[in-house]
């Protein structure tokens, strides 16, 4: 940074697209279309029919366990007692609404150099939230940055989509990425487990695995949407430069040559591959969302790929 740059006031981060621009009428029409498509994809299923792993007072038998004093005597399976002479209690799967958590990475890299990642991410979150709301799921949107969370309270019903729009429009990219810390806080605050849709570029200096593992270990069903902007792997640089990490300020002297750029492209692809391989190995649904693709196409891929709504 030169002296003039030092003396000059820092430029403010680019303002997020206004709600009217980000979620305009065209966007909303596409949401309706996506909602219809989602119904066709999941046709035959009734709403609120998702079986939770929670055992409780549902109608569908799940298992037996030994009777302990204090159990409701009406739940004792007398037929088994008659046949085997043991007091067993019937367990039923509890039926409940699906909780969908949208975890949006709001670090500085998401809005780097006018990148479309942040806008694309917000459109994807808005679209999938609408699908969820339209299916009467419990939708919660959380913005992660600097290890903290900003939260849109849980809501349901597609009439609440504008609340989601306003929340997403109010977000600004900034700060560093610490997925593990943010998600640990998320898990601590949300006891109700459900689908955790992690939308990020996974530029986490600590490693992308930690964040995903937190979700896995805390009993959430992680779904990874990876924002990919391949232009970041092909910067228009040449000569001697000092590369500075837009989040951490980490510096590195580089003499940019065609060879270096080629290796950078390879490293980027390898990084993407690492994330995808990791998710596949851990059975975590993974979707690479290229910012150059229309958001509705990405949403459709997500719906068709499955794992989001089931």
Partner 1 sequence: MTFAGLPLAWLVGIGTSAAAATVLLYILKLRRRPVAVAFAPLWHRVLGDRDASRLFSKLRRWLSLALQLLLLALLALALADPRPTHELGTGRNLVLLIDASASMQATDEKPTRLDAAKNVAKSLVRGLGGSDRALVVAMGAVPVPLSTMSDEATDLVAAVDRVRAADTRADFGRALELAADALHGLPNGEIVVLSDGVLAPPEPAPDLGGAALRFAPVGKSGRNLAITAFSVRRYPLDKSRLEVMAELANLDGARAEVELSLLGDGAIIDSERLVIEPGAKLSRFFPDVGGARHALEARVRYADGHADALPADDHAYALVPERRRAKVLVVTAGNTYLEAALLLDEYLDVTDVKPSQYPPTGAFDATIFDGVAPPPADKSGGLVYLNPPATGGPVKLGKAIAGFGFDTWDKKSPLLRFTAPGDVQVASGHALEPGPGDKVVGASDDGPILVAGNRSGRPFVVLGFDPRQSDFVLRPAWPLFVLNAIDSFSESDTSYVSAYRTGEVWRVPVPPGAHEAELATPDGSTRAVPVEDGRAVTFGDRAGFYRLTSGTDAARSVTEFAANLSDLDESRILPQKKLTVASHEAPPPAVGSGGVRRELWLWLLAAVLALSVLEWITYHRRVTV
Q: Determine which residue in the list 27, 67, 271, 278 makes contact with partner 1, applying CB under 8 A.
A: 271
Nearer to partner 1, 56 or 273 (CB): 273
Q: Does 79 bind partner 1 (CB under 8 A)?
A: no
| E strand or H helix at 24 | none
Binding flag, residue 3, partner 1 (CB under 8 A): no
Under the criterion CB under 8 A, does residue 244 sit at the interface with partner 1? Answer: yes
Among 233, 276, 282, 300, binds partner 1 (CB under 8 A): 233
Q: Rounded CA gap, 16 and 59, in Å?
A: 48
**Residue burial 259-284, b: 16+ Cβ < 10 Å; e: rest:** eebeebeeebeeebeebbebbeeeeb
Assess 1 for contact with partner 1 (CB under 8 A): yes
Rounded to a whole number of angstroms, the minimum distance from the CB of residue 270 to partner 1 is 8
Strands 138-145 and 221-228: unpaired
CA-angle at 148, arms to 22 and 52, nearest 5°:
80
Contact characters 114-153, partner 1, x per CB under 8 A: -x--------------------------------------
Q: Collapsing DSSP states into helix, strand and coil, what is residue 21?
A: helix
Whether residue 101 contacts residue 129, with contact meaning beta carbons closer than 8 Å, is answered with: no
Q: Give 140's strand partners.
A: 101
293 part of the interface to partner 1, by CB under 8 A: no
State whether residue 238 is helix, strand or coil: coil
Q: How many residues bind partner 1 (CB under 8 A)?
A: 37
Q: Are 126 and 164 in contact (CB under 8 A)?
A: yes
Cα separation, 9 vs 66, in Å, equals 70
| Minimum CB–partner distance for residue 256 and partner 1 (Å) | 9
Pairing mode, if any, of strands 148-155 and 138-145? antiparallel
The 180-199 contact track toward partner 1, x by CB under 8 A, reads: --------------------
Residue 117 CB, shortest distance to partner 1, in Å, is 9
Closest approach, Cβ 213 to partner 1, in A, equals 19
- Shorter beta-carbon distance to partner 1: residue 31 or 264: 264
Q: Kind and range of the H or E element at 84?
A: helix 78-84
State yes or no: residue 263 binds partner 1 (CB under 8 A). Answer: yes
Which residues would be at the binding site for partner 1 (CB under 8 A)?
Answer: 1, 109, 112-113, 115, 201, 203, 205, 229, 232-233, 235, 237, 239-246, 248, 250-255, 257, 259-260, 263-264, 267-268, 270-271
């Amino acid at each position: 940074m030169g002296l003039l740059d030092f003396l000059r006031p820092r430029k403010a981060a680019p303002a997020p697209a206004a709600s009217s621009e980000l979620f305009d009428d065209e966007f909303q029409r596409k949401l309706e279309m996506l909602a219809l498509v989602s119904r066709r994809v999941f046709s035959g299923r009734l709403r609120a029919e998702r079986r939770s792993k929670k055992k409780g007072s549902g109608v569908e038998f799940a298992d037996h366990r030994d009777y302990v004093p204090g159990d409701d005597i009406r739940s004792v399976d007398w037929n088994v007692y008659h046949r085997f002479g043991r007091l067993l209690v019937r367990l039923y799967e509890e039926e409940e609404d699906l909780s969908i958590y949208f975890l949006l990475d709001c670090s500085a890299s998401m809005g780097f150099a006018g990148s479309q990642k942040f806008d694309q991410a917000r459109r994807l979150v808005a679209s999938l939230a609408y699908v969820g709301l339209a299916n009467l799921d419990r939708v919660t949107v959380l913005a992660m940055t600097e290890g903290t969370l900003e939260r849109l309270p849980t809501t349901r019903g597609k009439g609440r989509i504008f609340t989601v729009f306003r929340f997403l429009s109010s977000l600004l990219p900034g700060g560093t990425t610490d997925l593990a810390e943010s998600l640990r806080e998320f898990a601590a605050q949300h006891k109700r487990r459900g689908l955790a849709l992690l939308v990020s570029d996974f530029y986490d200096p600590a490693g992308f695995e930690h964040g995903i593992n937190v979700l896995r270990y805390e009993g959430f069903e992680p779904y990874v949407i990876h924002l990919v902007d391949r232009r970041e792997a092909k910067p228009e640089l040449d000569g001697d430069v000092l590369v500075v990490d837009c989040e951490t300020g980490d510096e590195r002297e580089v003499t940019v040559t065609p060879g270096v750029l080629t290796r950078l492209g390879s490293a980027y692809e390898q990084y993407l591959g690492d994330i995808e391989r990791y998710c596949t190995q851990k059975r975590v649904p993974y979707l690479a969302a290229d910012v150059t693709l229309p958001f509705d196409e990405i949403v459709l891929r997500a719906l068709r790929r499955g794992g989001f709504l089931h």
